[in-house]
Amino acid sequence: MATTATPGADAPDETPWLNADEKEAWTGLVSLVLLLPGRLESPLQHEAGLTLFEYLTLSHISEAPERRLRMSELAYLANGSLSRLSNVVKRFEQRGWVARSPDPDDGRYTVAALTDAGYEVVVAAAPTHVRAVRRLVLDPLTDADQQALARIAAKLRVRPVDLT
């Protein structure tokens, strides 16, 4: 919106409306945030029977030292709430893919550990995910674009205080 007043209002509006370039950037980001996850999830669902959140959960644990992560850190990395993660990990426990236990360094936290069976699941699903990431995200970008995307993502990242 190019005007400085809210439609129908008598007083000037102090809202700093988006200019055309800002709107284009915002619309692009919204498209990425809303559309890309579904496009990344579709092949995982079809080939591995996993949602993107489930795959990211398993993947992040698999990459952690000793295949163990605090649930709070895992929730951040997988981009989900602790309650959502807890429900997913409970299903994984029932399948024998993950085991939970108190953190030996601080019993206030819970640690999720990937079992050998869970590791096999994520290893089998990884090629499907990597192919989708390359096709949908990395291949269309130049090296400079990828570096810019990484810089932008780092600037926009929100990290809980206890994980900094």
Residue-wise pLDDT for 21-62, tens only, equals 999 999 999 999 999 999 999 999 999 999 999 999 999 999
- Cα 86 to Cα 36, 76, 78, 99, 112: the distances in Å are 24, 13, 12, 12, 10
CA angle 76, 81, 87 (to 5 degrees): 115
Q: Which residues contact 146 (CB under 8 A, 6 or more apart)?
A: 138
Kindly report, residue by residue over 55-109, the tens digit of the pLDDT: 999 999 999 999 999 999 999 888 889 999 999 999 999 999 999 999 998 989 9
Q: What is the model's pTM?
A: 0.82
Nearest to 97 by CA among 47, 123, 50, 58: 58
